[in-house]
C-alpha cells in the first residue's frame, strides 16, 4: 500500500496538517475582519439577485463554516440563472475546513460527467486564474460547476495545493482563513458549452466583488 500514489498523497497531507498544528498551536492567530456575506452585492454587472436560499441548520452544522452565502442571480438580459455559494472560514485551526464539491455533490445524487480545470482571466488580477470545472448529472438534469478556494492573495483549484498553502500561511502569516467559492449553472437546451460560457461570464463579473469582500 505504501507504494500507492494515493496513499502517499494522503500521508503527505496528514503530515502537513500535523506540522501546521504543532507549529501553529502555540502562537496566536491573526483573524482579519470581514463583513457578513449577507451584505454581498445584490447587483453584479448584468446580474441581479433573484433569491437567497439559506442553508438548513443540519447542513450548517456539518459545514462548520463561519459564514455562508447561497444565492441565485439572474441575468437581466438573457434571464439565465446561476447559483452562487460561498463558505467562509475565519480559521481552520480547530478542524474546520471547506467541503469539496467533489465529495458533496455525489453525496446529493449528482454524478460527475467531466472533471478538469479551466484557466481564465478576471478583472483585478494580474495573472490568469485556474478553477475547477466540474460537469455533473442527476437523472435528466445536468449542471456546470466552477469552484475554487480563495485565500489572501491566492486563487487555488487543487485541494492538495490548498492544504499546502494552509500550512505555509499558518507558519508564515499566522493565518488560516479561506473561502470556498462555487458557481453552478444548469445546462439548458443550448447545451453544456453555453452553460459554461454563462458561468465564466458570471465569474468574471463576480471577481471584483470577491476581492472587496474577502480579506487580502
> What pLDDT, in 10s, does the model give residues 73-93?
999 999 999 999 999 999 887
- The domain containing residue 104 runs over which residues? 5-213
Residue 184 sits at φ, ψ, to 5 deg, of -120, 130
Distances (CA, A) of 75 to 44, 50, 68, 95: 9, 9, 22, 38
Q: Which of 134, 151, 144, 131 is nearest to 204 (CA)?
A: 131
Q: Name the domain count of the chain.
A: 1
Kindly list the distances between the CA atom of residue 196 and the CA atoms of 3, 142, 199, in Å, as whole numbers in the listed order: 38, 12, 5
Instruction: Please state the pTM of the whole predicted model.
Output: 0.85
Residue 21 has pLDDT above 70, yes or no: no
pLDDT confidence band for 29 (50 / 70 / 90): confident
pLDDT, tens only, 130-177: 999 999 999 999 999 999 999 878 999 988 888 888 888 877 888 888
* DSSP, res 110: P
**Residue given cell 487580502 in the structure block:** 216
Q: Give residue 6's pLDDT.
A: 60
Output Rg (C-alpha) for the chain, integer angstroms: 18
Q: Name beta bridge partners: 147.
A: 132, 182
Q: Across residues 29-50, what is the average pLDDT?
A: 92
d(CA 111, CA 71): 23
Element (H, E) at 172: helix 159-172
Which pLDDT score is estimated for 142? 96
The fraction of the chain above a pLDDT of 90, given in percent, is: 58
Amino acid at each position: 500500500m505504501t507504494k500507492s500514489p494515493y496513499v502517499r498523497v494522503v500521508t503527505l497531507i496528514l503530515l502537513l496538517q500535523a506540522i501546521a498544528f504543532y507549529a501553529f498551536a502555540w502562537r496566536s492567530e491573526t483573524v482579519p475582519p470581514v463583513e457578513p456575506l449577507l451584505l454581498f452585492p445584490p447587483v453584479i454587472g448584468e446580474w441581479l439577485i433573484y433569491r437567497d436560499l439559506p442553508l438548513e441548520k443540519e447542513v450548517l452544522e456539518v459545514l462548520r463554516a463561519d459564514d455562508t452565502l447561497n444565492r441565485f442571480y439572474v441575468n437581466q438580459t438573457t434571464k439565465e440563472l446561476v447559483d452562487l455559494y460561498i463558505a467562509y472560514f475565519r480559521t481552520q485551526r480547530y478542524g474546520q475546513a471547506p467541503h469539496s464539491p467533489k465529495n458533496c455533490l455525489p453525496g446529493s445524487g449528482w454524478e460527475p460527467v467531466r472533471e478538469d480545470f479551466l484557466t481564465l482571466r478576471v478583472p483585478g488580477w494580474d495573472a490568469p486564474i485556474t478553477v475547477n470545472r466540474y460537469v455533473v448529472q442527476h437523472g435528466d438534469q445536468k449542471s456546470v460547476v466552477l469552484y475554487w478556494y480563495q485565500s489572501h492573495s491566492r486563487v487555488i483549484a487543487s485541494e492538495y495545493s490548498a492544504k499546502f498553502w494552509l500550512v505555509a500561511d499558518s507558519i508564515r502569516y499566522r493565518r488560516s482563513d479561506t473561502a470556498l467559492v462555487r458557481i453552478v449553472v444548469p445546462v439548458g437546451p443550448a447545451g453544456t458549452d453555453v452553460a459554461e460560457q454563462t458561468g465564466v461570464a458570471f465569474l468574471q463579473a463576480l471577481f471584483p466583488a470577491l476581492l472587496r469582500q474577502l480579506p487580502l
